[in-house]
Chain A
Amino acid sequence: MIEIQSIKKSFEEREVLKDISARFDNGQTNLIIGQSGSGKTVLMKCIVGLLTPTEGKILYDGRDFVAMKKKEKALLRREMGMIFQSAALFDSMSVLENVMFPLDMFSNMTLREREKRAQQCLDRVNLIDAQKKYPGEISGGMQKRVAIARAIALNPKYLFCDEPNSGLDPKTSLVIDALIHDITVEYQMTTIINTHDMNSVMGIGDSIIFIKEGHLEWRGDKTQVATSENQSLTDFIFASDLLKKARQAFV
C-alpha cells in the first residue's frame, strides 16, 4: 500500500501540486486521471522519487520515502517497476536483454536462471517469440508489453505506469490494460496508473483519483464515475457529445 499525505510541489513560485492526500491499495489498479497540465505526471514523479515534493509524506507500507537515505531509497527502488509513456526500453539491448537487465543488476541468480525468469516474463506478456529482436524492430504495443515484462522481472511490490496507452490503438490499449490489471491481481502489487484514457477509467479503474489544477478534485471508482455529480469530472470524462449521450442514457 502507498499513502501520500499532504503533498505539495512548487517549481519556483508556481505551485503545481496543492496539498494532495490519497491511498493506493495493493491488489487493485489505482488510477490518477486529469487533464494535461493538471499535475498528475508531477505527482507520479514525486511518488517514484524522480522529483522531491516541497512538502508532505509518501509512505510505502508505512516507510517514509521522502525522509529515507539514498541507500534506503535505492533498496526500495528494487521493489518498484515502472512502465513509461515511451516504454523507455534500452535501444542497444535485445528484448530478452532488456527484461534480463534488472535481474543482471540486482539478483544473485545464475545466467541460466536469469534467462529462464526473463523468458517466463516474456511468455506472460505473449512475447516469447520476439526475444531476440531489438526495440526498434517491434511495434509500440509490443514495446509496452516488453516494458511490462521488464517491470515485473524482479517481482516488484509496486508498479507504476505513466500513460501506458499513449500512442496505441484502442484494441491494443485494451490488451495492455487487461494485462496490467491481471498482473496486479496475480502478484498482489500496488499499481498506480497515470492516464487520461477513458477506456482505462471505465475498464480497470478499481480506484480513481481526479486531479484538477494541482488539487484532488474527486475520488471514487469506475462504478461511481458515470453517476458522479462532480461537474469538472463529468466535463473531463464525458467530453464528447457521444459520451455525454451515453452517460445520459446510463443515468
Chain B
Amino acid sequence: MAKVFSRPERLRMYLKQYIKEMQQLGVDSIGIVLMISFFIGAVICIQMKVNIQSPWMPRFTTGYTTREILLLEFSSSIMCLILAGKVGSNIASELGTMRVTQQIDALEIMGVNSASFLILPKIMGLLTMIPVLVTFSMAAGFGGAYAISFAGILTPEDLTYGLQHSFNQWFVWMSIIKSFFFAFIIASVSSFYGYTVEGGSVEVGKASTDSVVHCSMLILFADIFLTKLLS
C-alpha cells in the first residue's frame, strides 16, 4: 500500500493514466449501469405494486418503497456488486496479464514505481467515477419506474407523489458516501490480486475470479457497517 501511495515520478503521466482509467473503468460502464438500473427500477415498481399495494394502503406506497429501495441499497450496494464483477475482473486480469508478460518487470527496470503508476490511477479513477455511476443508477431506476407507470400499472401522479413523499436528502448522500468505500474496495482488492499473480494464464483467470469473490464479500460486510454507521 505504501508503494501505491508514494509520490508519482511524473505527474503528467499519472494524470494521463487517471483520465484513461476514468474512461475505461467508469465511462465504459455507464451503458450497463443505465440498462440494469432501468430494468431493476421497473421490476421493483411492479413487485411493489403487485405484492405490497392493497386497498388498505395509500396509493403512493409503491413509489415510496421503490424510491427507498433504489436510494438505500440498489444504486449503491447492489450496483457496486455488479461493478465488482465488471470492473474488478477487468482490473485483475489486466494487471495479471501485464505481470505474466513481464510488462510490470519492464516498468520496474525502467525505474518506474509500477505499483503506484498502475494502481493509484485506477483507485483515483474509480473513486471519481463510481459516485457518478451511482447517481446515474438512481436516475435510471426512477426512469424504469416511470416507464412502468406509463404502461398503466399505476398512475404517474401516484408514483411521483410516492417518490416525493417524506423525501430525506441524506439517503442520497449516504448512498454516495457508501459508494466511495465500495470503489476503494473494488480498485484495491482487484489490483492486489492482479498485481501479485505468479504463473501463467490459468493463474490470471484464478486471480480474476478471486478478486470478484473477495470484492463482493468485502462490499457486503462493509455495507452492514456503513449502513449501521450512517443510518
A interface with B by C-beta (< 8 Å): 48-50, 73-78, 80, 82, 84-86, 88-92, 101-102, 104-106, 160
Residues of B within 8 A of A48 (CB): 109
Q: Is the CB of B106 within 8 A of A88?
A: yes
- Minimum CB–CB distance from A238 to chain B (whole Å) comes to 31
**A75-B111, A77-B110, A78-B111 known; A105-B105 Cβ under 8 A:** no
Q: Is the CB of B103 within 8 A of A90?
A: yes
Residues 34-70 of B, flagged 1 when their CB comes within 8 A of A and 0 if not, give: 0000000000000000000000000000000000000
| Interface SS of A by simple majority | mixed
**A104-B13, A105-B10 known; A84-B106 Cβ under 8 A:** yes
Closest to A101 in B: B110
B102 CB within 8 Å of chain A: yes
A88–B101 CA distance with the chains assembled, in angstroms:
6
- Minimum CB–CB distance from B67 to chain A (whole Å) comes to 41
Closest to A98 in B: B106
A92–B118 CA distance with the chains assembled, in angstroms:
13
Cβ-neighbour of A106 out of B10, B97, B106 (below 8 A): B10
Q: Is the CB of B102 within 8 A of A80?
A: no
B9 CB within 8 Å of chain A: yes
- Minimum CB–CB distance from A112 to chain B (whole Å) comes to 15
| Interface SS of B by simple majority | helix
- Minimum CB–CB distance from A174 to chain B (whole Å) comes to 24
Q: Is the CB of B9 within 8 A of A84?
A: no
A89–B12 CA distance with the chains assembled, in angstroms:
21
Residues of B within 8 A of A88 (CB): 101-103, 105-106
Q: Is the CB of B102 within 8 A of A102?
A: no
Q: Is the CB of A50 within 8 A of B111?
A: no
Q: Is the CB of B106 within 8 A of A74?
A: no
B198 CB within 8 Å of chain A: no
A-B contact pairs, 7 of them (CB 8 A): A48-B109, A77-B109, A88-B105, A92-B20, A104-B10, A104-B12, A106-B10
Cβ-neighbour of A82 out of B10, B13, B20, B109 (below 8 A): B109
- Minimum CB–CB distance from A193 to chain B (whole Å) comes to 15
Within 8 A of A (CB), among B5-41: 9-10, 12-13, 20
**A88-B102, A90-B103 known; A80-B10 Cβ under 8 A:** no
- Minimum CB–CB distance from A50 to chain B (whole Å) comes to 6
Closest to A105 in B: B10
B112 CB within 8 Å of chain A: yes
Residues of A within 8 A of B157 (CB): none
Residues of B within 8 A of A102 (CB): 110
A102–B101 CA distance with the chains assembled, in angstroms:
18
A90–B104 CA distance with the chains assembled, in angstroms:
9
Q: Is the CB of B102 within 8 A of A74?
A: no
Residues of A within 8 A of B12 (CB): 104
Closest to B110 in A: A102
- Minimum CB–CB distance from B90 to chain A (whole Å) comes to 12
A88–B100 CA distance with the chains assembled, in angstroms:
9
**A104-B10, A106-B10 known; A50-B101 Cβ under 8 A:** no
Residues of A within 8 A of B97 (CB): 91
Closest to B104 in A: A88
Closest to B117 in A: A105
Q: Is the CB of B13 within 8 A of A84?
A: no
Residues of A within 8 A of B9 (CB): 74, 105-106
- Minimum CB–CB distance from A145 to chain B (whole Å) comes to 15
